[in-house]
Structure 1
Amino acid sequence: MIKTDELRGIIAKNGLSQADVASKIGITPKTFYEKMKIGVFGSDEIQIMIDELNITDPASIFFAKE
């Protein structure tokens, strides 16, 4: 389960919008919002977000336990 609130915070801290991140990972903003809603991204998408957003502790965000 992805901690979407933390991910949103990191996106904002980087001065980006969710639409910007969607573009970076090669999906539409609508698809990005849907993936945020269900909390599921592909491994390639996660890797791009880790790299582009300079996420230092990805496990705590992308592989969080409820």
Structure 2
Amino acid sequence: MIKTDELRGVIAKNGYSQTDVAGMIGITPKTFYEKMKIGVFGSDEIQIMIDKLNIKDPMAIFFAQE
């Protein structure tokens, strides 16, 4: 399960909007919001976010335990 609140924080800290990140990973903003709501992204999308947002500890955000 993805910690969407932490992901939102990382996006903001990097000076991007969720719409910007949607463009980075090649999906529409609407699709991005839907994925954030259910907390599920594909592995390719996760890798792009890790690289572009310079996420140092991706396990804590993308592979969080309940």
Identity over the aligned pairs, expressed in percent? 85
Alignment RMSD: 0.2
Structure 2, gaps ≥5 residues long: none
Amino acid paired to 1:56: K
Between the aligned partners of 2:58 and 2:9, the Cα distance in structure 1 is 14
Deviation for aligned residue 1:60 = 0.5
What does residue 61 of structure 1 align with? 61
CA distance in 2, matches of 1:55, 1:26: 19
Name stretches of at least 5 consecutive residues in structure 1 with no aligned partner.
none
Amino acid of the structure 2 residue aligned with 1:57 = D
- Structure-2-length-normalised TM-score: 1.00
Alignment partner, residue 24 of structure 1? 24
Give TM-score, length-normalised by structure 1: 1.00
Q: Which residue of 2 aligns with 1:37?
A: 37
Q: In the alignment, residue 59 of structure 1 is paired with which amino acid?
A: M
Distance in structure 1 (CA, Å) of the matches to 2:64 and 2:35: 16
Residue of structure 1 in register with 2:47 after alignment: 47
Tell me the number of residue pairs that the alignment of Structure 1 and Structure 2 aligns.
66
CA distance in 2, matches of 1:9, 1:39: 15
The answer to whether the aligner puts 1:6 opposite 2:33 as a matched pair is no
